[in-house]
Amino acid sequence: MKFTFSKYQIFVVALLAFIQFTVVLDFMILSPLGVQVMEQLKISTTKFGLVVSAYAFSAGISGILAAGFADRFDRKKMLLFFYSGFVLGTVLCGIAPNYEFLLFARIVTGLFGGVIASISFAIIADLFPMEARGRVMGLVMTAFAASQVFGLPIGVFFSNIWGWQSPFWMIALISGLVGVGALFKLEPIVSHLGEKTENKAIKHLLVTAGNSNYLPGFLATMLLATGGYMLMPFGSAFSVHNLGITLEDLPLVYFVTGVVSMAAGPLIGRAADKFGKYPIFLISSLIACGILFYYTAMGITPLWFVILINSALFVVITGRVISAQALNSAMPELRDRGAYMAISSSLQQLSGGIASYAAGLIVVQTPSGYIQGYPNLGYVVIVAILITVAIMYKVNEYVSSKHPAPVKSAETELVSET
Protein backbone atom coordinates (compact mmCIF):
# COMPACT_ATOMS: atom_id res chain seq x y z
CA MET A 1 0.00 0.00 0.00
CA LYS A 2 1.43 3.39 -0.98
CA PHE A 3 0.46 6.72 0.52
CA THR A 4 1.23 9.82 -1.50
CA PHE A 5 1.04 13.36 -0.19
CA SER A 6 -0.92 15.71 -2.42
CA LYS A 7 0.33 19.25 -3.00
CA TYR A 8 -2.46 20.60 -0.84
CA GLN A 9 -1.54 18.23 2.00
CA ILE A 10 2.05 19.41 1.74
CA PHE A 11 0.77 22.99 2.03
CA VAL A 12 -1.29 22.09 5.12
CA VAL A 13 1.74 20.49 6.78
CA ALA A 14 3.85 23.58 6.04
CA LEU A 15 1.12 25.93 7.28
CA LEU A 16 0.63 24.04 10.53
CA ALA A 17 4.40 23.92 11.01
CA PHE A 18 4.62 27.72 10.65
CA ILE A 19 1.72 28.19 13.06
CA GLN A 20 3.36 25.91 15.61
CA PHE A 21 6.63 27.77 15.05
CA THR A 22 5.09 31.06 16.16
CA VAL A 23 3.16 29.58 19.09
CA VAL A 24 6.13 27.58 20.37
CA LEU A 25 8.50 30.51 19.91
CA ASP A 26 6.16 32.77 21.89
CA PHE A 27 6.40 30.35 24.82
CA MET A 28 10.06 29.40 24.45
CA ILE A 29 11.34 32.96 24.06
CA LEU A 30 10.74 33.60 27.76
CA SER A 31 13.43 31.07 28.67
CA PRO A 32 16.43 32.86 27.10
CA LEU A 33 14.91 36.21 28.07
CA GLY A 34 14.58 35.08 31.68
CA VAL A 35 17.88 36.61 32.74
CA GLN A 36 16.92 40.02 31.33
CA VAL A 37 13.30 39.94 32.46
CA MET A 38 14.13 39.06 36.07
CA GLU A 39 16.84 41.72 36.18
CA GLN A 40 14.98 44.58 34.46
CA LEU A 41 11.61 44.00 36.13
CA LYS A 42 13.35 43.17 39.43
CA ILE A 43 11.39 39.97 40.04
CA SER A 44 12.30 36.73 41.82
CA THR A 45 12.47 33.21 40.36
CA THR A 46 9.09 32.53 41.97
CA LYS A 47 7.46 35.49 40.20
CA PHE A 48 9.10 34.57 36.90
CA GLY A 49 7.84 31.01 37.31
CA LEU A 50 4.36 32.49 37.77
CA VAL A 51 4.71 34.50 34.54
CA VAL A 52 5.49 31.28 32.66
CA SER A 53 2.80 29.27 34.41
CA ALA A 54 0.15 31.99 33.90
CA TYR A 55 0.19 31.17 30.18
CA ALA A 56 -0.27 27.50 30.96
CA PHE A 57 -3.08 27.98 33.47
CA SER A 58 -5.07 30.28 31.18
CA ALA A 59 -4.46 27.92 28.25
CA GLY A 60 -5.75 25.04 30.34
CA ILE A 61 -8.93 26.87 31.26
CA SER A 62 -9.45 27.94 27.65
CA GLY A 63 -8.99 24.37 26.45
CA ILE A 64 -11.71 23.10 28.77
CA LEU A 65 -14.11 25.85 27.67
CA ALA A 66 -13.37 25.22 23.99
CA ALA A 67 -13.60 21.41 24.19
CA GLY A 68 -17.38 21.26 24.09
CA PHE A 69 -17.49 23.36 20.91
CA ALA A 70 -14.41 21.90 19.19
CA ASP A 71 -16.38 19.38 17.09
CA ARG A 72 -19.29 21.70 16.27
CA PHE A 73 -17.54 24.15 13.91
CA ASP A 74 -15.33 24.22 10.87
CA ARG A 75 -11.80 23.62 12.16
CA LYS A 76 -10.49 26.40 9.90
CA LYS A 77 -12.73 28.97 11.60
CA MET A 78 -11.70 27.70 15.03
CA LEU A 79 -8.04 27.97 14.06
CA LEU A 80 -8.36 31.53 12.73
CA PHE A 81 -10.33 32.72 15.77
CA PHE A 82 -7.83 31.50 18.33
CA TYR A 83 -4.80 32.45 16.24
CA SER A 84 -6.08 36.05 16.00
CA GLY A 85 -6.39 36.20 19.78
CA PHE A 86 -2.90 34.78 20.11
CA VAL A 87 -1.50 37.60 17.96
CA LEU A 88 -3.28 40.14 20.17
CA GLY A 89 -1.79 38.63 23.32
CA THR A 90 1.69 38.67 21.79
CA VAL A 91 1.35 42.37 20.98
CA LEU A 92 0.38 43.02 24.60
CA CYS A 93 3.58 41.27 25.70
CA GLY A 94 5.49 43.58 23.39
CA ILE A 95 4.18 46.69 25.17
CA ALA A 96 4.36 45.35 28.74
CA PRO A 97 6.01 48.02 30.95
CA ASN A 98 6.01 46.10 34.23
CA TYR A 99 5.52 42.72 35.89
CA GLU A 100 1.76 43.05 36.42
CA PHE A 101 1.07 43.97 32.78
CA LEU A 102 3.32 41.16 31.53
CA LEU A 103 1.44 38.70 33.73
CA PHE A 104 -1.86 39.91 32.25
CA ALA A 105 -0.47 39.71 28.71
CA ARG A 106 0.67 36.11 29.23
CA ILE A 107 -2.80 35.20 30.48
CA VAL A 108 -4.39 36.65 27.33
CA THR A 109 -1.85 34.90 25.10
CA GLY A 110 -2.47 31.59 26.85
CA LEU A 111 -6.25 31.87 26.55
CA PHE A 112 -5.92 31.80 22.77
CA GLY A 113 -2.54 30.25 22.02
CA GLY A 114 -3.02 27.22 24.24
CA VAL A 115 -5.85 25.84 22.10
CA ILE A 116 -4.08 26.16 18.75
CA ALA A 117 -1.99 22.99 19.07
CA SER A 118 -5.07 20.86 19.77
CA ILE A 119 -6.85 22.28 16.71
CA SER A 120 -3.76 21.60 14.58
CA PHE A 121 -3.51 18.01 15.77
CA ALA A 122 -7.22 17.48 15.09
CA ILE A 123 -6.68 18.77 11.54
CA ILE A 124 -3.78 16.36 11.08
CA ALA A 125 -5.88 13.44 12.30
CA ASP A 126 -8.71 14.50 9.95
CA LEU A 127 -6.57 14.81 6.83
CA PHE A 128 -3.90 12.10 7.24
CA PRO A 129 -4.19 8.32 7.86
CA MET A 130 -2.56 6.67 10.87
CA GLU A 131 0.30 5.19 8.86
CA ALA A 132 1.39 8.68 7.77
CA ARG A 133 0.98 10.59 11.03
CA GLY A 134 4.44 9.86 12.38
CA ARG A 135 5.99 11.57 9.41
CA VAL A 136 3.49 14.43 9.46
CA MET A 137 4.03 14.98 13.19
CA GLY A 138 7.78 14.85 12.59
CA LEU A 139 7.54 17.61 10.02
CA VAL A 140 5.14 19.78 12.04
CA MET A 141 7.13 19.31 15.23
CA THR A 142 10.24 20.68 13.51
CA ALA A 143 8.61 23.96 14.53
CA PHE A 144 10.14 23.42 17.95
CA ALA A 145 13.61 23.06 16.44
CA ALA A 146 13.05 25.88 13.96
CA SER A 147 12.15 28.20 16.82
CA GLN A 148 15.57 27.40 18.26
CA VAL A 149 17.45 27.78 14.99
CA PHE A 150 15.83 30.96 13.74
CA GLY A 151 13.61 32.39 16.44
CA LEU A 152 15.56 32.18 19.68
CA PRO A 153 18.95 33.44 18.41
CA ILE A 154 17.30 36.30 16.52
CA GLY A 155 15.04 37.02 19.49
CA VAL A 156 17.98 37.14 21.90
CA PHE A 157 19.89 39.31 19.43
CA PHE A 158 16.97 41.74 19.17
CA SER A 159 16.54 41.81 22.94
CA ASN A 160 20.20 42.70 23.45
CA ILE A 161 19.75 45.71 21.15
CA TRP A 162 16.15 46.90 21.64
CA GLY A 163 15.11 45.29 24.91
CA TRP A 164 13.35 42.10 25.97
CA GLN A 165 9.97 43.23 24.53
CA SER A 166 11.24 43.40 20.93
CA PRO A 167 11.11 39.62 20.20
CA PHE A 168 7.36 39.66 20.85
CA TRP A 169 6.89 42.25 18.10
CA MET A 170 8.85 39.99 15.75
CA ILE A 171 6.57 37.06 16.62
CA ALA A 172 3.42 39.17 16.15
CA LEU A 173 4.55 40.26 12.68
CA ILE A 174 5.34 36.71 11.53
CA SER A 175 2.09 35.42 13.01
CA GLY A 176 0.07 38.04 11.17
CA LEU A 177 1.53 36.98 7.83
CA VAL A 178 0.92 33.29 8.58
CA GLY A 179 -2.67 34.07 9.58
CA VAL A 180 -3.32 35.79 6.27
CA GLY A 181 -2.04 32.69 4.45
CA ALA A 182 -4.37 30.46 6.45
CA LEU A 183 -7.32 32.76 5.79
CA PHE A 184 -6.99 32.65 2.00
CA LYS A 185 -5.41 29.26 1.29
CA LEU A 186 -6.71 26.80 3.87
CA GLU A 187 -9.88 24.99 2.82
CA PRO A 188 -12.80 24.41 5.23
CA ILE A 189 -12.34 21.26 7.34
CA VAL A 190 -15.80 19.90 8.10
CA SER A 191 -15.68 16.09 7.75
CA HIS A 192 -16.28 15.70 11.49
CA LEU A 193 -19.55 17.64 11.25
CA GLY A 194 -21.18 14.67 9.56
CA GLU A 195 -20.68 12.54 12.66
CA LYS A 196 -23.46 12.36 15.24
CA THR A 197 -22.43 14.09 18.46
CA GLU A 198 -24.07 15.49 21.57
CA ASN A 199 -26.34 18.47 20.89
CA LYS A 200 -25.18 20.36 23.96
CA ALA A 201 -21.57 21.50 24.18
CA ILE A 202 -21.23 20.87 27.92
CA LYS A 203 -22.66 17.37 27.60
CA HIS A 204 -20.28 16.59 24.73
CA LEU A 205 -17.40 17.79 26.89
CA LEU A 206 -18.47 15.64 29.84
CA VAL A 207 -19.10 12.55 27.71
CA THR A 208 -15.66 12.83 26.08
CA ALA A 209 -13.86 13.58 29.34
CA GLY A 210 -15.68 10.70 31.07
CA ASN A 211 -14.85 8.07 28.45
CA SER A 212 -12.74 5.52 30.33
CA ASN A 213 -10.98 4.47 27.12
CA TYR A 214 -9.49 7.95 26.84
CA LEU A 215 -8.15 8.13 30.40
CA PRO A 216 -4.63 6.75 29.67
CA GLY A 217 -4.24 9.25 26.84
CA PHE A 218 -5.25 12.14 29.11
CA LEU A 219 -2.86 11.03 31.85
CA ALA A 220 0.05 10.59 29.46
CA THR A 221 -0.54 14.01 27.93
CA MET A 222 -0.53 15.63 31.38
CA LEU A 223 2.88 14.22 32.23
CA LEU A 224 4.44 14.66 28.80
CA ALA A 225 4.98 18.40 29.26
CA THR A 226 6.44 18.20 32.75
CA GLY A 227 10.05 18.24 31.59
CA GLY A 228 9.75 21.28 29.38
CA TYR A 229 7.77 23.34 31.84
CA MET A 230 10.09 22.54 34.75
CA LEU A 231 13.48 22.88 33.05
CA MET A 232 13.02 25.50 30.34
CA PRO A 233 12.01 28.58 32.39
CA PHE A 234 15.39 28.59 34.12
CA GLY A 235 17.43 27.01 31.33
CA SER A 236 19.14 30.22 30.26
CA ALA A 237 19.96 31.25 33.83
CA PHE A 238 21.34 27.74 34.50
CA SER A 239 23.48 27.87 31.35
CA VAL A 240 24.87 31.32 32.16
CA HIS A 241 25.38 31.16 35.92
CA ASN A 242 25.96 27.43 36.53
CA LEU A 243 27.57 26.20 33.30
CA GLY A 244 29.54 29.38 32.63
CA ILE A 245 28.10 30.17 29.18
CA THR A 246 28.15 33.87 28.27
CA LEU A 247 25.06 35.72 27.07
CA GLU A 248 26.86 36.26 23.75
CA ASP A 249 27.37 32.49 23.30
CA LEU A 250 23.83 31.55 24.37
CA PRO A 251 22.32 32.11 20.88
CA LEU A 252 24.93 29.72 19.45
CA VAL A 253 23.81 27.00 21.87
CA TYR A 254 20.19 27.40 20.77
CA PHE A 255 21.14 27.61 17.10
CA VAL A 256 23.19 24.41 16.93
CA THR A 257 20.74 22.52 19.13
CA GLY A 258 17.89 23.61 16.87
CA VAL A 259 19.69 22.61 13.66
CA VAL A 260 20.30 19.12 15.04
CA SER A 261 16.67 18.82 16.17
CA MET A 262 15.37 20.02 12.78
CA ALA A 263 17.38 17.34 11.03
CA ALA A 264 16.30 14.67 13.51
CA GLY A 265 12.54 15.44 13.53
CA PRO A 266 11.58 14.09 10.08
CA LEU A 267 13.88 11.09 10.54
CA ILE A 268 12.27 10.27 13.88
CA GLY A 269 8.84 10.60 12.28
CA ARG A 270 9.78 8.10 9.58
CA ALA A 271 11.19 5.73 12.20
CA ALA A 272 7.97 5.99 14.24
CA ASP A 273 5.90 4.99 11.20
CA LYS A 274 8.26 2.15 10.28
CA PHE A 275 9.21 0.63 13.64
CA GLY A 276 6.23 1.70 15.74
CA LYS A 277 5.34 4.81 17.72
CA TYR A 278 5.71 3.23 21.16
CA PRO A 279 9.16 1.65 20.64
CA ILE A 280 10.52 5.03 19.53
CA PHE A 281 8.86 6.70 22.52
CA LEU A 282 10.33 4.12 24.91
CA ILE A 283 13.88 4.39 23.57
CA SER A 284 13.77 8.21 23.53
CA SER A 285 12.44 8.32 27.09
CA LEU A 286 15.11 6.05 28.55
CA ILE A 287 17.91 7.97 26.87
CA ALA A 288 16.40 11.24 28.08
CA CYS A 289 16.48 10.00 31.69
CA GLY A 290 20.20 9.26 31.46
CA ILE A 291 21.02 12.63 29.92
CA LEU A 292 18.92 14.58 32.45
CA PHE A 293 20.54 12.83 35.40
CA TYR A 294 23.95 14.02 34.23
CA TYR A 295 23.03 17.40 32.72
CA THR A 296 21.17 18.91 35.67
CA ALA A 297 24.15 18.23 37.97
CA MET A 298 26.76 19.81 35.68
CA GLY A 299 28.99 22.69 36.77
CA ILE A 300 31.28 24.96 34.74
CA THR A 301 31.47 23.28 31.33
CA PRO A 302 33.18 24.04 27.98
CA LEU A 303 30.89 25.56 25.35
CA TRP A 304 31.32 22.66 22.92
CA PHE A 305 30.15 20.10 25.48
CA VAL A 306 27.15 22.20 26.52
CA ILE A 307 26.13 22.33 22.86
CA LEU A 308 26.67 18.58 22.48
CA ILE A 309 24.61 17.53 25.50
CA ASN A 310 21.84 20.05 24.76
CA SER A 311 21.62 18.73 21.20
CA ALA A 312 21.37 15.14 22.40
CA LEU A 313 18.72 16.07 24.96
CA PHE A 314 16.57 17.92 22.43
CA VAL A 315 16.78 15.06 19.93
CA VAL A 316 15.34 12.55 22.41
CA ILE A 317 12.76 15.08 23.64
CA THR A 318 11.70 15.56 20.03
CA GLY A 319 11.48 11.78 19.67
CA ARG A 320 9.20 11.54 22.70
CA VAL A 321 6.87 14.31 21.53
CA ILE A 322 6.56 13.15 17.91
CA SER A 323 5.88 9.50 18.74
CA ALA A 324 3.53 10.33 21.62
CA GLN A 325 1.47 12.84 19.63
CA ALA A 326 1.20 10.49 16.65
CA LEU A 327 0.05 7.66 18.90
CA ASN A 328 -2.30 9.81 20.95
CA SER A 329 -3.98 11.22 17.83
CA ALA A 330 -5.42 7.75 17.16
CA MET A 331 -7.13 7.48 20.56
CA PRO A 332 -10.44 9.34 19.98
CA GLU A 333 -13.31 8.54 17.66
CA LEU A 334 -13.89 11.04 14.84
CA ARG A 335 -16.92 12.55 16.58
CA ASP A 336 -14.82 13.22 19.72
CA ARG A 337 -11.55 14.21 18.07
CA GLY A 338 -11.72 17.97 18.55
CA ALA A 339 -12.97 17.68 22.13
CA TYR A 340 -10.37 15.04 22.98
CA MET A 341 -7.52 17.15 21.60
CA ALA A 342 -8.78 20.25 23.40
CA ILE A 343 -9.12 18.42 26.72
CA SER A 344 -5.67 16.87 26.27
CA SER A 345 -4.17 20.26 25.52
CA SER A 346 -5.93 21.77 28.50
CA LEU A 347 -4.70 19.09 30.88
CA GLN A 348 -1.21 19.41 29.47
CA GLN A 349 -1.19 23.17 29.99
CA LEU A 350 -2.62 22.98 33.51
CA SER A 351 -0.17 20.30 34.61
CA GLY A 352 2.62 22.25 32.90
CA GLY A 353 1.58 25.39 34.74
CA ILE A 354 1.76 23.57 38.05
CA ALA A 355 5.14 22.12 37.09
CA SER A 356 6.47 25.54 36.07
CA TYR A 357 5.33 27.17 39.29
CA ALA A 358 6.71 24.26 41.32
CA ALA A 359 10.04 24.67 39.55
CA GLY A 360 10.17 28.27 40.73
CA LEU A 361 9.76 26.99 44.29
CA ILE A 362 12.33 24.19 43.97
CA VAL A 363 15.16 26.28 42.56
CA VAL A 364 16.61 29.39 44.16
CA GLN A 365 18.71 32.04 42.47
CA THR A 366 21.45 33.33 44.73
CA PRO A 367 22.61 37.00 44.64
CA SER A 368 25.43 35.94 42.32
CA GLY A 369 22.89 34.45 39.89
CA TYR A 370 23.77 30.82 40.61
CA ILE A 371 20.76 28.46 40.39
CA GLN A 372 20.51 26.16 43.39
CA GLY A 373 18.40 23.00 43.34
CA TYR A 374 18.50 22.35 39.58
CA PRO A 375 19.42 18.64 40.02
CA ASN A 376 16.22 18.23 42.05
CA LEU A 377 14.24 19.33 38.99
CA GLY A 378 16.03 16.63 37.01
CA TYR A 379 14.98 13.93 39.48
CA VAL A 380 11.34 15.03 39.34
CA VAL A 381 11.35 15.05 35.53
CA ILE A 382 12.96 11.60 35.36
CA VAL A 383 10.26 10.13 37.58
CA ALA A 384 7.56 11.77 35.42
CA ILE A 385 9.16 10.33 32.27
CA LEU A 386 9.20 6.79 33.68
CA ILE A 387 5.56 7.01 34.77
CA THR A 388 4.63 8.29 31.30
CA VAL A 389 6.37 5.30 29.69
CA ALA A 390 4.11 2.96 31.64
CA ILE A 391 0.96 4.91 30.78
CA MET A 392 1.85 5.16 27.09
CA TYR A 393 2.09 1.37 27.02
CA LYS A 394 -1.65 1.29 27.79
CA VAL A 395 -2.27 3.91 25.10
CA ASN A 396 -0.38 1.80 22.61
CA GLU A 397 -2.41 -1.31 23.47
CA TYR A 398 -5.69 0.55 22.93
CA VAL A 399 -4.58 2.11 19.65
CA SER A 400 -3.27 -1.23 18.40
CA SER A 401 -6.68 -2.79 19.02
CA LYS A 402 -8.27 -0.03 16.90
CA HIS A 403 -5.63 0.03 14.17
CA PRO A 404 -4.16 -3.46 13.65
CA ALA A 405 -0.70 -3.43 12.11
CA PRO A 406 -0.68 -4.21 8.37
CA VAL A 407 0.90 -7.41 7.16
CA LYS A 408 4.53 -7.09 6.18
CA SER A 409 3.84 -7.55 2.48
CA ALA A 410 1.56 -4.55 2.53
CA GLU A 411 3.90 -2.31 4.48
CA THR A 412 3.14 1.34 3.85
CA GLU A 413 5.63 3.39 1.93
CA LEU A 414 5.40 7.12 2.15
CA VAL A 415 6.31 9.13 -0.90
CA SER A 416 6.37 12.94 -0.95
CA GLU A 417 5.56 15.01 -4.00
CA THR A 418 7.30 18.30 -4.28
The residues, ordered by sequence, that sit 6+ positions from 342 with a Cβ below 8 Å of its Cβ are 63, 64, 66, 67, 70, 115, 118, 119
For residue 65, what are the domain limits? 9-187
DSSP 118-139: HHHHHHHHHHS-HHHHHHHHHH
Segment 337-362 mean pLDDT: 78
Segment 61-78 mean pLDDT: 77
pLDDT digits (tens, 9 = 90+) for 195-232: 655 556 677 778 887 888 888 988 888 888 776 667 77
151 and 222: one domain? no
Q: Is residue 359 part of a domain?
A: yes
Q: Is residue 371 part of a domain?
A: yes
234 and 379: one domain? yes
Q: Is residue 321 part of a domain?
A: yes
The residues, ordered by sequence, that sit 6+ positions from 372 with a Cβ below 8 Å of its Cβ are 363, 364, 365, 366
- Identify the bridge partners of residue 415 per DSSP, sorted by sequence position: 4
* Of 87-91, 143-147, 233-237, 283-287, the least confident: 143-147
Structural domains counted in the chain: 2
Q: Is residue 215 part of a domain?
A: yes
131 and 229: one domain? no
pLDDT for residue 66: 72
DSSP 8-state symbol, 2: E
pLDDT band of 417, cuts 50, 70, 90: very low
Rounded CA separation 334/65 (Å): 20
The number of C-alpha atoms within 13 Å of 56 and in the hemisphere containing its C-beta is 27
Angle in degrees, 0-180, between the axes of helices 45-67 and 337-362, rounded to the nearest 10: 170
pLDDT for residue 285: 94
227 and 111: one domain? no
20 and 148: one domain? yes
Choose between 383 and 333: higher pLDDT: 383
Does residue 132 surpass a pLDDT of 70? yes
Does residue 405 surpass a pLDDT of 70? no
pLDDT for residue 408: 45
* Of 28-32, 158-162, 234-238, 337-341, the least confident: 28-32
pLDDT for residue 55: 82
What is the CATH number for 375? 1.20.1250.20
Does residue 409 surpass a pLDDT of 60? no
pLDDT digits (tens, 9 = 90+) for 288-329: 999 999 999 999 999 999 999 999 998 898 889 888 888 888
